[in-house]
Structure 1
Amino acid sequence: MMEVEAAKTMFSRSLGRGLRYTTLVADGDCKTFNELQELRPYGDTSICKEECTNHVSKRLGTGLRNFVTAKSKRGTTLGGRKQGSLTQAKIALLQSHYKKAVANYNPQHHLCPTGTRSWCFYNRALAFGKDPPSHKNCSSSSISPHVAEKVRGVYERLTAPELLQRCLKGLTQNADEAIHSTIWSRCPKHLFAGRRRVEIATTITVGNFNIGSTFIRELTEECGCGVGKISIAHGLKRDFARIKRAEKAEMVETKRRKIDMARAVTVAQQEFLAAEGGPSYSSGGGGVKRAFDVGEFL
């Protein structure tokens, strides 16, 4: 309920600051939107809910994995090593394709791009005047007709117009999740902390992000503590390193490696959880059952 109460407080006090929050970006099982609908902080002015595209894409992976498990218990095998089977790696790739299709939506997206630089191997081969190779050898995300028929319902549920209508803006909660993780690193949310400590952790996080080590130095000096030359130099060095990391993260090659690594971690995580006895978190799962350290796969 922490997120719900925080949202109700923010929406209720916003009019006093001369603004209205008319859009809420949330995942599918978020209770915050229903609470705000009952609160009606702006009277007759409605609040629109937008889906987080990352959470929506996770539903596809979760739905396919649950479907494969359910069918397996009934004696129908959709996974395995057979060509076209729905393996964990295949599900991770299909989830990636679904997310890309939602994020890059446009009225002509059902057609593959043409030309020599197209990502479509078939149209790329035609552009070079060559015979296109078979899908079996070039498409790592292909699934057999038998499997496609079984999982069709999962795709129909996740391509419903009502759901995709809330994804048209391509919004995401990534920025919020990023600052939350930084705040929790200074004030762990699994341990009790008073309001003052949370406010201090938030202030330091925001100030360090916007200003850098200069904010920490000025804050320390305001508290009556001196800062030595070595500490100042270390802070400037850390700021420089952060800027370089940010510039590197925007490089195309870095983004490609990050996507490949994310797929590998997803597969490794599912194999780990399957062996250890259950999921730690799933989209719409509503809880955490066990912790999983992604670091051991990196």
Structure 2
Amino acid sequence: MEVAGIHRLFARSKMLCNVKYAHYIGDGDAKVFPKLISDPPYEDVSITKIEDVNHFSKKMLHRLQKIAESLKKNNIDGKLGIRGSGRMIKKMMINFKHYYRLAIVRNKTNLDDMVRAVWAIWKHKPSSNSEPHHEWCSPSYCGYLQALEKGEEYDHTPHSLPLKIMKAIRSAFEELAHPDTLKRVRNGGSQNANESFHSILWSLAPKNRYSTGVMIDLCAAMAVSFYNDGYQSIIPVLAELTGNTGFFTRVGMKRLDERRIYYEHKRKRKAVQKSKQNEEASDSLSDRMSVDDNRDDQLDDSYIPGAY
């Protein structure tokens, strides 16, 4: 269904909107892009797929987990495997995924800078007080360079990983920092806006319940109105259909819009407070990140001061 739907969107774009789509952002699906290549909707346009950054960055986590599993019986730096306290724990793997995503997002228009930023992660983590390697780091996130600018001393010990551990995971960086790999996310974006719209649509027409085509069309039109202009945008439509709208209908729609705005402001306010708390904590704990191991949606779009 997804393959047929996307191909239809491409095929009718010229007739309906007088445009041709040359790129599309997609996740790791294996059927949509081959369909667009084997049955091209346009005669003179070659379609290019851009990977979704959020899905793509999970490759780093998956590669690290795979390496950790394959090396769990190998003696590395005096212990079996790469896991353990002061080594590659689960939270550290999630942090690496977070850093990898940010390296892509902050350099998505320049492939060379993107490659350099990803390798900067690998060079930064095994750095020690006697052998710092921060020549590719940025002062925006690197505590060592920030301390250097202030003329202060910097201790690598709290967050540094053993060099042998970093060498063990080097193959993941060789693959994921390769230009041929990263060019798939150059100028990339996210499908989050689509997912947010879909959540509104499926709340009106749940997937686990059958709906006719007419009902899906109606729910899709309502979802577009709610998503772009709020719930009160449906009031003129109801007035035209019924001749008038009641007092409680208008009050109810207004309250739904106010609640939506309230929770969005509350979310942003918590994000600001969380950032301030991280800045205060970074003075004493330079390698702490407020990320739940089981909640990827808590990862924000900025480096946490002192955590890198």
Provide the residue aligned with 2:138 in structure 1.
113
* Superposition map of 1:1-298 within 5 A: 2-17=1-16, 18-72=18-72, 76-81=80-85, 83=86, 85-105=87-107, 107=113, 109=117, 111-114=136-139, 118-132=140-154, 134-137=155-158, 139=159, 142-224=160-242, 226-247=244-265, 249=267, 253=272, 256=275, 263-264=291-292, 267-268=293-294
Provide the residue aligned with 1:284 in structure 2.
none
Q: Deviations over 1:166-210 (max 9, x none)?
A: 222131111111111221222222444332222222111111122
TM-score if structure 1 supplies the norm length?
0.76
What is the deviation of 1:19? 0.9
Residues 193 and 74 of structure 1: CA distance in aligned 2, closer, same or farther (over 3 Å): farther
Given that residues 248 and 254 in structure 1 are in contact (C-alpha distance below 8 angstroms), is that contact kept between their aligned partners in structure 2?
no
Residues 91 and 205 of structure 1: CA distance in aligned 2, closer, same or farther (over 3 Å): same
Inter-partner Cα distance in structure 2 for 1:56 and 1:146: 26
Provide the residue aligned with 1:283 in structure 2.
none
The runs of 5 or more residues in structure 2 that have no matched partner are: 121-135, 279-288, 297-308
Q: Deviations over 1:89-125 (max 9, x none)?
A: 11111110110011111537553334xxx43211222
| Equivalent residues, number | 256
What is the deviation of 1:27? 1.9
Aligned residue for 1:14, secondary structure, equals helix
Inter-partner Cα distance in structure 1 for 2:207 and 2:183: 34
What is the deviation of 1:220? 2.7
Percent identity of the aligned residues? 26
Q: Deviations over 1:50-87 (max 9, x none)?
A: 11111111111122123323333778522122x1x211
Given that residues 249 and 255 in structure 1 are in contact (C-alpha distance below 8 angstroms), is that contact kept between their aligned partners in structure 2?
no
Given that residues 25 and 50 in structure 1 are in contact (C-alpha distance below 8 angstroms), is that contact kept between their aligned partners in structure 2?
yes
For residue 42 of structure 1, what is the amino acid of its counterpart? Y
Residues 200 and 39 of structure 1: CA distance in aligned 2, closer, same or farther (over 3 Å): same
Residues 113 and 150 of structure 1: CA distance in aligned 2, closer, same or farther (over 3 Å): closer
Inter-partner Cα distance in structure 2 for 1:255 and 1:40: 47
Aligned residue for 1:72, secondary structure, equals coil
What is the deviation of 1:256? 4.3
Given that residues 24 and 33 in structure 1 are in contact (C-alpha distance below 8 angstroms), is that contact kept between their aligned partners in structure 2?
no
Aligned residue for 1:20, secondary structure, equals coil
What is the deviation of 1:211? 2.2
Inter-partner Cα distance in structure 2 for 1:152 and 1:113: 21
What is the deviation of 1:245? 3.8
Provide the residue aligned with 1:281 in structure 2.
none
Provide the residue aligned with 1:280 in structure 2.
none
Residues 190 and 147 of structure 1: CA distance in aligned 2, closer, same or farther (over 3 Å): farther
